[in-house]
Amino acid sequence: MKIKLIFGLILLGLVVVVALQNAEMVTVKLLLWQFSLPRALMLLACMGVGLIAGLLFGTLSRVRSRISK
pLDDT in tens, 8-62: 899 889 878 887 788 889 998 989 999 898 888 888 888 889 989 999 988 888 8
CA 39 – CA 23 distance, rounded (Å): 6
Range of the domain at 7: 2-68
Cβ-contact 19, 40 below 8 angstroms = yes
Query: pTM of the prediction?
Result: 0.59
Q: How many domains does the chain have?
A: 1
State which H helix or E strand residue 52 sits in. helix 39-68
Q: How far apart are CA 68 and CA 33, in angstroms?
A: 43
